[in-house]
Structure 1
Amino acid sequence: MSEVARRRFLQGASVLGVAGVLGTGQASASSRYHWLSGDHHTHTQYSYDGMYTIEQQIRGALRHGTDWLVITDHGHASHEAHSVEATAADIKRAQRKFPQLLLWHGMEWNVPGAEHATLFLEDCRDEAGVLRDFERQFDWRLNGQEASSPANEKKALDAVRWLQTKIRNGTMKSALVFVNHPMRNGRVAPHELRNMRDLAPDIVVGMEGAPGAQGDGDPLRGPGGHRGGYANSPGSNSYAPYPAEAYKTYGGFDWMTAQLGGVWDSLLAEGLGWWITSNSDSHFNSRDTVVRVPEPGDQFDLTGKHLDPLDAGPPQVLPPYVDFYPCEFSRTVVGASRRTRGAVMEGLRAGRAWVSHGGLVDDLQFGVYASGGSATLGERLRVRRGSDVTVLVKARLATRPNSAGFIPRLRRLDLIKGAVTGLASLETLSTPHVKVERSYEPRWHYAVFTHTFRNVREPFYLRLRGTDGNRGAFEPQADTPGAANPWEDLWCYTNPIFVEVR
């Protein structure tokens, strides 16, 4: 069969037909996993700036198809003193009441010398006690180590070493850390990302490719809002080399992720895993009817908990109601070998995930294969120099209305290729060896695309991004303050696949 005929056949094939053509390739590899949608960055009444009960947050998440969820209330003196054990008790009750949801008790760590990060644990003895000890020792809201300085950056690395010790001594099986909204304040320098990754690549595994608070730039909220809450300009703790445009979102995604050949690509060019996610950062959710009740001004300081909110009736649209429920707008879809918390953590650690906004696609499968085998998201395909490597992309487009009431349309998928050039300077912000290798325009609800790299000689990685193209451009554009309705500019991204050549 000629290459043209083969491609036409694959494009018209059913899922079963594609699996038959590839044999042990990507189609069968993907079928080994449960693809589960979730969110690792959410808040409740146990955050100083939150509102929802844990059960309210869970019920909202389940309404939007959430399979896994991490509760990550902020580190804070009152939280450490009063909230951790109470949160643990509420989560244990919720785990019994909602067994269909994989639920964790995590925290949002105020990283010394940097920004926020999600932390959650696997199979931990005395989980509440470990989280509380970590917060007491290593959260900058408790110890005053907010400023960007070598001493505070060392404290952040000491925190990661502390987690490593807890794993080695059997206190817990594993831990995961994701850097949240990395460019909101510009406090996370590229050397901090690399230092934490290099110290503990099985713990500090990635960052939010897209922040929460996606409704903040919607004109409905009034003037001045910024999508993702990215309203900040450089400050005293910001990394000086970041340009002014780095403090914006692009189609809702962080500058580090959205810029072709930018910070994310510079990390991947080292040939090491660094994965992206997309989350709600849910505090007050757009158009919700739940409101915080009047309470004494020192309520949270004294108890570490806001009073239970009430359903007030009319939908709330003005700030602070700029977030969404988990999986209402943003979702991280993880390939898990089993429907368990440990398997979801393993999938996240492996980079076996893709992210989407606004229900842009129902399903997105991406793999590469050669005579030496196959690989999917986050994995490595090892081939001999001179081999051919074929890419298979399968996209199932949206066929049902999303949470905003319309069916989005995926207008383009880009296959992006980047060269693996080896370890870079700790301060590297970009790489020139990245390009859009090929673009696809889906024409049916289910689309299959292939592309073959002939006679490969050097290592590289591949990733996908897709867009609805509503802004008239297929490169992510900077979001305009006060005029960035998130539902009108939708994107999806995959984590990479590495091809190693020997």
Structure 2
Amino acid sequence: MSHGHHHGHHHHHHHGDEDLSSLPPALDTSIPDEELTPGQHSRRSMLRRAGLLGAGLAAGGVLGGAGEAAASTAAMPTTHTSRSGRYLWLAGDHHIHTQHSSDGKYRVIDHVRQANAHGLDWMVITDHGSVTHAKIGVEKVNPDIVAARDQIEDTLVFQGLEWNIPAAEHGTVFVHPGKNEVAVLREFENSFDGSVKGATAGTATNEALAIAGIDFLAEQVQRRKVKDALLLANHPARKGIDSPHEIRGWRDAQPSIAVGMEGAPGHQAAGIAAPDGPGSGRGYYDNSPSADSFAAYPLESYRTWGGFDWMTATVGGLWDSLLAEGKPWWITANSDSHSVYADTSVRGPNSDFAGNGRYNDPVHGGGLNLGDGDYWPGQYSRTHVGAASFSYQAVMDGIRAGRVWVDHGGLISGLNAQLRSAGRAVTLGGMLQVRRGSEVELVVEISLANGPNWAQFVPTLARVDVIQGDVTGPVSDKDTFTTPNTRVVKSFEVNKATGAVRLTYSLGPVDKPVYVRLRGTDGNRTAVGLGGSSVDPAGPAMDVLGDADPWKDLWFYSNPMWVLPA
């Protein structure tokens, strides 16, 4: 039965000077339930159950002013101020494959509907760069993306590309929608993709081509060809070929374009023991070193730890070594969705990918695909971005600013973290400037899970860890991947299952630059962390190949905040 009229139009509201216009109807609580379409109503119900409706706006922003940093702190992240200090926390996924990828299957609209149903607000379609893909071109998928944007108004759908980074792993490259989005992505793929250019080997020439590609993206933004562009490195430790100096090189070349990496890879169902034989590693992290691998990486770097990449999961490891330099480098989590676990669809019959650049539409109704290693966008992994409004630009700005936290399996439904001192505060990604010796407090508010996840249970947060490190400045060796003074400084046991918890931790009088970041777990699987018991007494455990049920080992991670005493 239809309502005869469709409330798909956007309602505009002005809360002070903050632009929260164009809220999707499901999120706009000024629209009564009975005015929503059935789809919008089910989305609102889902958000309510997850404790996400209205909660996003309560999250704090920056109280202090921007631009007070001395010139010597140019490497430190800048403070971003939202006038009313409130953000919409928008969940998303920047790594999704369709029938336009050689190993993909689903239509764009299939992914967008699923993402929407699983509570995502934004997503990036990232079909693989390749010789075949470049021949047919990124324009082939664009009409499907444009149609999905029109059809599902309350999900922001970016067009991107999974870049074969020359001399390295893959990365998500995406641009702000606009008249040149296809042209810029096409030129980028044809000029800088490692597969297209035959530039995959780990040579200095190929590393330079990767930097040239990042510079190209920055130039497109400067020339106003596209409004914005971002690069995030995907599954960075999977094959050991993203050396520390390459990661630093990308970031340092264009810190506003190359902003981070997947803290947790997609393919999280791959660790489930498959009925027709042994499962793989979570994230398909089941590799060994090759000729192109960075020789100093230890063998354990080729595995996931509680579903997270070794670079992120190691306290005092590669991620921390960048943060200890004072370099913004953010983490995300996503699905890398190609073929979904327990789905029943098969690739469209009689497909000619080489000729058409896409597979025919999938056909549903086969058996359960229990050998497939992926989840739908939002079904398991979520990247939450603090955005000043519901818009493409606000999501990109939030990612660039590091206002990002990630979770698996719906472990928590909201996170608001602030560093506070003398009436000033910053949130995730921010830098708090204080007088030397000032008292600084970390205040964390967590909305616990209050509804079942896809696996039909309500996860319980057992513990939250505060990880703190000294900012020791630039490293002389760009291949450094450890930092000595980072450790778990406080663990909070969480003794409740529903509602919210408020945790406070005093950093004491701060007389040198430091950063803090957060991590939480359901407590099901922990081990003495990679840095040893004095550094990480109960960190994630290495995932067992072929026997790593992702639902039984849930974590969340936040991006860092810095304190800079002057």
1:364 matches 2:419: no
Deviations 1:422-449 (A, max 9, x none): 0012110101101111111122321101
RMSD over aligned CA atoms reads: 2.0
1:451-490 to 2 correspondence within 5 Å?
451-471=505-525, 473=527, 474-490=538-554
Q: Which residue of 2 aligns with 1:10?
A: none
1:393-432 to 2 correspondence within 5 Å?
393-424=444-475, 425-432=477-484
- Which residue identity does 1:316 align to in structure 2? N
Q: Which residue of 2 aligns with 1:275?
A: 330
Unaligned runs of 5+ in 1: 1-14
Once structures 1 and 2 are overlaid, which stretch shifts more, 75-84 or 150-159? 75-84
Deviation at 1:283, TM superposition (A): 0.1
Q: Which residue of 2 aligns with 1:391?
A: 442
Distance change (3 Å), C-alpha of 1:42 and 1:36: same
Q: TM-score, normalised by structure 1?
A: 0.92
User: Matches of 2:442 and 2:241 in 1, distance apart?
Assistant: 37
Distance change (3 Å), C-alpha of 1:148 and 1:494: same
1:482-501 to 2 correspondence within 5 Å?
482-501=546-565
Q: Which residue of 2 aligns with 1:306?
A: 359
1:212 matches 2:263: no
Q: Are 1:393 and 1:449, in contact at CA under 8 Å, matched by a contact in 2?
A: yes
Q: Are 2:62 and 2:427, in contact at CA under 8 Å, matched by a contact in 1?
A: no
Q: Which residue of 2 aligns with 1:434?
A: 486
Aligned residues: percent identity? Answer: 47
Structure 1 residue aligned with 2:116, among 62, 84, 101?
62
Q: Are 1:30 and 1:365, in contact at CA under 8 Å, matched by a contact in 2?
A: no
- Which residue identity does 1:189 align to in structure 2? S
1:89-238 to 2 correspondence within 5 Å?
89-220=143-274, 222-238=277-293
Deviations 1:454-488 (A, max 9, x none): 22110000000000111254311110001100001
Q: Are 1:176 and 1:203, in contact at CA under 8 Å, matched by a contact in 2?
A: yes
Which structure has the highest helix share of the two?
Answer: 1
Q: TM-score, normalised by structure 2?
A: 0.82
Deviation at 1:68, TM superposition (A): 0.2
Q: Are 2:61 and 2:426, in contact at CA under 8 Å, matched by a contact in 1?
A: no
Unaligned runs of 5+ in 2: 1-53, 65-79, 528-537
Deviation at 1:84, TM superposition (A): 1.4
Q: Which residue of 2 aligns with 1:3?
A: none
Q: Are 2:113 and 2:152, in contact at CA under 8 Å, matched by a contact in 1?
A: no
Q: Which residue of 2 aligns with 1:334?
A: 385
User: Matches of 1:79 and 1:494 in 2, distance apart?
Assistant: 35
Distance change (3 Å), C-alpha of 1:22 and 1:328: closer
Give the 3-state SS of the residue equivalent to 2:540 in structure 1.
coil
Q: Are 2:526 and 2:539, in contact at CA under 8 Å, matched by a contact in 1?
A: no
User: Matches of 1:407 and 1:68 in 2, distance apart?
Assistant: 24
Q: Are 1:78 and 1:303, in contact at CA under 8 Å, matched by a contact in 2?
A: no
Which protein has greater RCO, CA pairs closer than 8 Å, 6+ apart?
1
Q: Which residue of 1 aligns with 2:396?
A: 345
Aligned length: 480
Deviation at 1:163, TM superposition (A): 1.2
Q: Which residue of 2 aligns with 1:380?
A: 431
Deviation at 1:453, TM superposition (A): 2.0
Deviation at 1:220, TM superposition (A): 3.3
Distance change (3 Å), C-alpha of 1:233 and 1:95: same
Deviations 1:112-142 (A, max 9, x none): 0001000011254421111111101111111
Q: Are 1:390 and 1:452, in contact at CA under 8 Å, matched by a contact in 2?
A: yes
Q: Are 1:29 and 1:376, in contact at CA under 8 Å, matched by a contact in 2?
A: no
Distance change (3 Å), C-alpha of 1:272 and 1:52: same
User: Matches of 2:341 and 2:83 in 1, distance apart?
Assistant: 38
Give the 3-state SS of the residue equivalent to 1:389 in structure 2.
strand
Deviation at 1:89, TM superposition (A): 1.0
Q: Are 1:83 and 1:303, in contact at CA under 8 Å, matched by a contact in 2?
A: no
Structure 1 residue aligned with 2:495, among 433, 443, 468?
443
User: Matches of 2:86 and 2:388 in 1, distance apart?
Assistant: 7
Q: Are 1:208 and 1:279, in contact at CA under 8 Å, matched by a contact in 2?
A: yes
- Which residue identity does 2:353 align to in structure 1? F
- Which residue identity does 2:360 align to in structure 1? L
Q: Are 1:40 and 1:70, in contact at CA under 8 Å, matched by a contact in 2?
A: yes
1:42 matches 2:96: yes
User: Matches of 2:432 and 2:473 in 1, distance apart?
Assistant: 17
